[in-house]
Amino acid sequence: MTTVLGTAPIVRRRFVVRGVVQGVGFRPFVHVTAVGLGLAGEAHNDAGGLVIEVEGPAPAVAEFAVRLADGPPLAIVDGVETSELPVRGGREFAIGASDPDGAVRTLAAPDVATCADCLREIGDPADRRYRHPFATCTNCGPRFTITVDLPYDRATTTMARFPMCARCAAEYADPADRRFHAQPIACPDCGPRLEFLGRAGPVTGDEAALAAARTLLRDGGVLAVKGLGGYHLACRAADEDAVATLRRRKRRGAKPFAVMAPDLDAAGALAAIDEVAAGLLTGPARPIVLLPRLGRAGEGRAGEGRAVKGEAPLAADVAPGSPDLGLLLPYTPLHHLLLGDGPDGPGPGSLVMTSGNLGGEPIVADDADALVRLAALADGWLRHDRPVHVPCDDSVVRVVDGEELPIRRSRGYAPLPVALPIDVPPMLGAGAELKNTMCLAAGRRAWLSGHIGDMDDLATLATATAAEEHLEHLTDVRPRVVAADLHPDYRSRAWAVDRAGRGGVDGEGVRSVQHHHAHVASLLAEHRVPARQKIVGIAFDGTGLGTDGAVWGGEVLLADAAGFARLGHLGYVPLPGGDVTVQRPYRMALAHLAAAGLPWDPDLPPVAACPLPERRVLAHQLTTGLGCVPTSSVGRLFDAVAALAGIRQVVDFEAQAAIELEAAARGVDPGERRYPFPVGAGPVHVADPAPLIRAVADDVLAGVPARVVAARFHAALAGLVRELARRAARASGIDVVGLTGGVFQNALLLSAASAALRADGRTVLRHRVVPPNDGGLCLGQVLVAAAVRGDERRNDGEG
Ligand SMILES: [Zn+2]
Ligand SMILES: [Zn+2]
């Protein structure tokens, strides 16, 4: 009997696969699939994507097409074009080299955490990569951070300087091997080498360098350790003195440190980890996950020093006063070897892992730079000779209602593109001022850089320029238009103007985008809301320049990408003296009290916290309006309430008061009392904060605990969101509500507001791809600038 395949016609078909197809094990996948189906043919990368030709019985070719559409696990297939070719004969399936020429670039892949197979190998004494700090395969390892150019091949990565040994070369060339065409392939014979630099001079040899670094950690030292995207500063998380030293040297204030636990079990002893969080902690991107910490043991300086037995799991200084802990798991073999048990004894336990930099500066990635810039911060350096081409910080996420909420989108995510709902010309989005990222966009894609940092720093500006140039190189997008924030004093704007003035941006210059419109547009972009479809965008944050010159931050915008109408906002109160008030929430509390017509009762914590001379100046300012700007900022309202509740009068880092107010409210029953938050009649719906401030002050003076005040405030704010959305729906007929802006990093508020909106039958759009904070702003900027430009062109055409 002849088989069905035996009688089927023989066909030859070409597939061009576009998307993230390089550095994700696509060619081995194609090889195994084709050979498994008995197909002949060949595959190679070119600049347009992965080109595959297969030949064989028609049903087998059809099955190949089905499997191809999914691709290997790390691939993102944007599209597959197929065409029929004449049959050529042959029985082999060949993998070709990459073709470096071509007009269109494929996409670079993000860095991927060490896979289970590689981890097993580095733990297996019989394996030739036993304890090799640089083991990788097609399923894991560095990608974006080592990519110098595309197409992604060893020669275009920082691994180019390491010639493969014969055994690695054989694995690299073997289509059946897990390391087939794994560009960063390495082994102890041919790979990068570790080196430890300490007070006593350099220690070479991987095992000796590791042991020296672990000794330094055990002895309470601060170690600069080179990872995928740059240097971290590490110390034992249980060591009170070491953590305090690191905090002091880094000039970190009270800002929490992230902690790398050796494994999921160890992480589970530190924080409450549900299934979603466990998936994020162990997933290929391996971000820092903000989680509720367990048993506040270790708070209050137990003073056990370096004792391993019986000590608190975390030093008090790791995350002082924070109910959350930023946790991450090892994501390179080096991390696994540093934290795990070794020939020199048990591992050092969980480590504080913080970016190697001073607060606000970009992460240090260059080896020579690390020796200089980290000299005052570290006691020793564990480094290697594989250069980091693209600095990239750790990403940060949180879990809200069982969904991932990005807080910082960087390593493991960058430079994956975000699909856009409209076609855009080649553009650059310059982002905002703090926590900046920028993006390039063209066609239906936007590529966001990793986290860059605060743009008020010269080093950050240089990093921004380098990141932008590299992104241009990888994407081949040469921006014609630059989108920037409206604020004339933002460094990001000056940077954008400079960028537009240099060659390359021919002619169209800088387009200004209002801050909160950009926030709402970032939601439109990531949810791919069709052009001209309006949503009700509720944008709550700390600061953004409004079109009326006020500091906005409590906005209800009826918006599509091309424009917005301000349907409502938080009522204006005077913001006296800008930055100084942002740093001292007690000033904002006094401003809110004055605006509500309430006396500055010395029994109220912010009044007591404000020195008398400052109080006099403040009173004068608020009466005369001198040096005051009107603000509708919800971020500042959080500051005022946190100060009134006695939780925080002066902040060390951005949003500290709001974070602590959320922490105080968590799990607390607000009781019967409802704080009033009336909204005025239209056409613009203004929410009056005065009755709320009065109620808060009454509660505080009556001795109601701070946590109850905090819970009542959160309930009131969620209720306000619901009411503002009702008014907006009545005015516009639109039931889709987007929640955006830095305030919506607050899990309690985001969850409560979403539930309230859904109870009214509304559709809620939340961030899943880019952060609600200013780290997502660049995405919205390009969408708005493109939509406005498109409208102008259409209007010009009609006129
Ligand atoms: Zn692997
Ligand atoms: Zn080798």
Distance from Cα 110 to the centre of ligand 1, integer Å: 14
Query: Ligand 2 mean position to 415 CA, how many Å?
Result: 28
Taking the CA of 24 as reference, the closest ligand is 1
By the 8 A CB rule, do 413 and 286 touch?
no
Share of the chain above pLDDT 70, in %: 94
> How much distance in Å is there from the Cα of 194 to the middle of ligand 2?
15
Q: Which ligand is nearest to the CA of 121?
A: 1
* Span from the CA of 759 to the centroid of ligand 2 (angstroms): 60
CA–centroid distance, residue 466 to ligand 1 (Å):
30
Percent of the chain with pLDDT over 90: 69
How long is the chain? 799
- Can you give the pLDDT at residue 100? 46
Choice between 460 and 692, residue whose per-residue pLDDT is larger:
692
CA of 19 to the centre of ligand 2 (A): 30
- Residue 360 Cα to ligand 2 middle (Å): 39
> What spacing in Å lies between the alpha carbon of 202 and ligand 1's midpoint?
30
Mind listing the pLDDT tens digit for each residue in 502-538? 644 445 788 999 999 999 999 999 998 988 999 999 9
Place of tokens 């946590």: 707
Residue 678: both structure tokens together: 């009336």
Give per-residue pLDDT as tens, 592-616: 999 999 999 999 999 999 999 999 9
Q: Read off the pLDDT band of 677 (50, 70, 90).
A: very high
**Cα 144 to ligand 1 centre (Å):** 16
Closest-lying ligand to the alpha carbon of 185? 2
Quote the ligand 2 centre to 228 CA distance (angstroms): 20
Does the pLDDT at position 795 exceed 90? no
The confidence band for 493, taking pLDDT boundaries of 50, 70 and 90, is confident
Q: Judge whether residue 666 has pLDDT over 90.
A: yes
Ligand nearest to the CA of 179: 1
* CA 212–ligand 2 middle distance (angstroms): 25
Whole-angstrom distance, CA of residue 134 vs CA of residue 67 = 31
Residue 332 CA, ligand 1 centroid: distance in Å = 10
CA nearest neighbour of 217 among 247, 202, 239: 239
Q: pLDDT per residue over 631-654, tens digit each?
A: 999 999 999 999 999 999 999 888
150-159, 686-695, 738-747: least confidently modelled range? 150-159
**Beta bridge partners of residue 84, listed in sequence order:** 13
- Ligand in closest contact with the CA of 128: 2
Q: Which ligand is nearest to the CA of 74?
A: 1
- Chain centroid offset of residue 54 CA: 40
- Of the pLDDT bands very low, low, confident and very high (cuts 50, 70, 90), residue 153 is confident
Distance 135 CA to ligand 2 centre (A): 10
Phi/psi region, residue 498 (left: phi>0; alpha: psi -120 to 50; beta: rest), is alpha
32 pLDDT tier (thresholds 50, 70, 90): confident
Least confident of 87-101, 431-445, 746-760: 87-101
Does the pLDDT of residue 685 top 90, yes or no?
A: yes
Q: 129 alpha carbon to ligand 2 midpoint, in Å?
A: 9
| 123 CA distance to ligand 2 middle (Å) | 18
Measured between alpha carbons, how far is residue 731 from residues 554, 557, 571 in Å? Answer: 18, 12, 19
pLDDT of residue 207: 97
pLDDT of residue 97: 59
Closest ligand (CA of 73)? 1
Residue 363 CA to ligand 1 center (angstroms) comes to: 26
pTM of structure: 0.89
Compute, in angstroms, the gap from residue 105 CA to the centroid of ligand 2: 30
Q: What is the pLDDT of residues 197-217, one digit of tens each?
A: 998 899 999 999 999 999 999
pLDDT band, residue 70 (cuts 50/70/90): confident
Tell how far the Cα of 172 is from the centroid of ligand 2, in angstroms.
10
Say what the pLDDT of residue 750 is: 98
Q: What pLDDT does 144 receive? A: 92
Closest ligand to 139 CA?
Answer: 1
Is residue 798 over pLDDT 70?
Answer: no
For 361-382, b where at least 16 C-beta lie within 10 A, e where not — what string?
bbbbbebeebeebbeebbbbbb
CA of 546 to the centre of ligand 1 (A): 49
pLDDT (average), residues 541-565: 97
pLDDT digits (tens, 9 = 90+) for 280-307: 999 999 999 999 998 654 333 333 333 3
Q: Give distance in angstroms: CA of 47 to centre of ligand 2.
A: 28
Q: Is the pLDDT of residue 460 over 90?
A: no
Query: What digits encode the pLDDT tens for the residues 109-137?
Result: 899 999 999 999 999 999 999 999 999 99
Question: Which ligand has the shortest distance to the CA of 177?
Answer: 1
Beta bridge partners, 685, equal 568
Taking the CA atoms of 524, 525, 528 and 531 in sequence, report the sign of the dihedral they define.
positive
- Cβ contacts of 775 within 8 Å, gap of 6 or more: 406, 407, 408, 409, 431, 435, 436, 437, 451
Contact 630, 574 (CB under 8 A): yes
- For the CA of 159, the nearest ligand: 2
- Which ligand is in closest contact with the Cα of 135? 1
CA of 163 to the centre of ligand 2 (A): 8
Instruction: Give residue 331 CA to ligand 2 midpoint distance, Å.
Output: 21
CA distances from 659 to 423, 681, 710 (A): 38, 32, 11
CA 28 to ligand 2 centroid distance, Å: 19
Q: Please state, rounded to an integer, the average pLDDT across all residues of the chain.
A: 90
pLDDT band per the 50, 70, 90 thresholds, residue 412: very high
3-state helix, strand, coil in the chain (%, to 5): 35, 25, 40
The better pLDDT of the pair 492, 207 is held by: 207
User: With 70 as the cut, is the pLDDT of residue 579 above it?
Assistant: yes
Ligand 2 centroid to residue 191 C-alpha, Å: 6
pLDDT at 19: 81
In angstroms, what is the span from residue 175 Cα to ligand 2's centroid? 17
Ligand located closest to 186 CA:
2
Beta carbons within 8 Å of 166's beta carbon, 6+ residues apart = none
Lowest mean pLDDT among 66-80, 192-206, 428-442, 554-568: 66-80
Q: What is the pLDDT of residue 713?
A: 98
